[in-house]
Amino acid sequence: MSSISSDIKPKKHYEILDGLRGVAAILVVAFHIFEAFAGGNRFVQIINHGYLAVDFFFLLSGFVVAYAYDDRWGKMGQWEFYKRRLIRLQPMVILGMIIGAIFYYFQASDILFPMIGGMEAWKVILTMVIGFTLLPISPSLEIRGWGEMHPLNGPAWSLFFEYIANILYALIFRKFSNKVLSVFVLIFAGLLINYTVFGPKGDVIGGWSLNLEQMNVGFTRLLYPFFAGVLLCRLGKLIHVKNAFWVCSILITIVLALPRFGDENSLWINGLYESICIIFIFPIIVAIGAGGEIKNEFSLKICKLLGDISYPIYITHYPLIYWFTAWVVDNKVSMENGYLEGIGVLIVSIILAFVCLKLYDEPVRNWLVNKFQRKKGSEVLSS
């Protein structure tokens, strides 16, 4: 992030939070690989709560956005903020859609994706171009059959909501006092509990379709964690423990990997677990991560690498997952017979993310910063 003026000084960088974002992103990929073998049954899914990584990402994002921008609005306008966020996020959104389009026809499946085989190329290209903007795809442009707002790259739905959160922050919530913000955070927590504990599914799975039900899920998942992250940053109540990165990595892994609680007749139990994770455990993990220090070079390098690839791996891995899932379903592959291929998908996803980072994301963002953000006499800050 480049500065707006030479008056803005660099801030401490939270390397541990970067590393935790990378850990969660890799767990998301593993979750999606295991999901291919689950046959759509969320009660037997391994790394059962892997989807909660998205809610963790929202909390991290709210914390980091508040930390980076809360005290800079006197020197920064609305457009400058949006420009910075676009430069940070949008290049990989575009590349993710391109990768999704490249892999699309390889994902053809008579069982899982019967639409792909006869899909017109112009419709795929149009879907890709609309995807560049992150605007949701109309159901009339469905090209896969899963009802996703971004059928070439499903996880882009969370970036759509991320942008909404950034706009809400810039327009409204940044102006609130901590007391007012706390009231809203409590209301958002109530909405989350109402949906998870008293709702129809007992989980927060969803948010990726352009219909009223799924949009409700998306906003329910977004509002509490993002603005709780903002509030957590403002309050500055950090927790200091030794080996914070490794402690937090173990905690987030356990939280995401635990099996589903309850069954079809007791959905509320799992909903309660997820509410506790999002409302209490995730903020504690972030507070420990932000309050920790890295005192050895190895941990620092691990955190930097994980942080660097976290966003690229999240936004580029799913085209491979479509392909892998179609192969598993079409060939009725069991986990015992397909785990090596699953490991291969994980490795390729990490390599692909690293290549995209070094050959595309970093060069493009550097060019955009030089073109649209640098001003004479300004400093360059990291974010």
Per-10-residue mean pLDDT of the chain, 383 residues long, equals 41 90 98 95 93 98 97 91 96 98 97 95 97 94 95 98 98 97 98 97 96 97 98 96 96 97 95 98 98 92 97 98 97 96 98 98 96 54 38
Confirm whether 142 is domain-assigned: yes
pTM of structure: 0.94
Please, what is the angle between helix 52-69 and helix 282-291, to 10°? 40
Question: Rounded CA gap, 143 and 151, in Å?
Answer: 7
Whether 5 maps to a domain, the answer reads no
**How much is the pLDDT for 383?**
43
Q: Are 9 and 75 in contact (CB under 8 A)?
A: no
Give me the domain span that covers residue 334. 15-372
Give the span between the Cα atoms of 121 and 131, in whole angstroms.
15
The answer to whether residue 379 sits within a structural domain is no
User: Is residue 316 packed enough to be buried (19+ CB in 10 Å), middle (13-18) or exposed (0-12)?
Assistant: buried
Query: Quick check: 382 and 67 in contact, CB under 8 A?
Result: no
In a domain, residue 112? The reply is yes
Residue 214 lies in a domain: yes
In a domain, 177, yes or no: yes
pLDDT for residue 3: 35
Q: Is residue 340 part of a domain?
A: yes
State residue 139's pLDDT score.
Answer: 87
Contacts of 40 (CB under 8 A, 6+ apart): none
Count structural domains, the chain: 1
**pLDDT at position 88, please?**
96
Residue 377 lies in a domain: no
Exposure string (b/e) for 325-349, b if CB count within 10 Å is 16 or more?
Answer: bbbbbeeebeeeebeeebeebbeeb
